Amino acid sequence: MATRPGNTQRAGERIQRIRAALQKFELLCSGTLSERMMKCGKPNCRCATDPSARHGPYFEWSHMKAGKPTRCYVSAHQAQLLRKAIADYRALQKLLREWQESSERIIDAAQPPQP
């Protein structure tokens, strides 16, 4: 694949911008965060018949741990931290994909022309 010198320069500049952007991340977590309203299971409780009277919100974090799916309930404060950490993790993954693409452009350009 032939790459023009301008493309490699832009790829190098993109890598420098990505490196600078990496400094903004503090907490990183993968997974998803769900907010649930639940029934308690007591037959005389209002939540059994009235959906607007359900208990909660309860926050559930689902993620992979040691290669296995894991779910756990977290507090509202933890949920707030997790929302940002999950968003930052996804943003980081996007930046890493862009870094990889830019690296491939530079490596492709370094290949000597074939006769």
CB contact at 8 A, 33 and 82: yes
- Whole-model pTM: value is 0.79
Tens digits of pLDDT across the chain (115 residues): 444 557 888 988 999 999 999 999 999 999 999 999 999 989 899 998 898 999 999 999 999 999 999 999 999 999 999 999 999 999 999 999 999 999 998 888 887 767 6
H or E element at residue 65: strand 55-65
**Peptide bond between residue 57 and the one before it cis (omega within 30 degrees of 0):** yes
Task: Give yes or no for a contact between 17 and 102, defined as CB atoms under 8 angstroms apart.
Answer: no
Identify any residues that bridge with 74 across adjacent strands, giving them in sequence order.
Answer: 59
**49 and 106 in contact (C-beta within 8 Å)?**
no
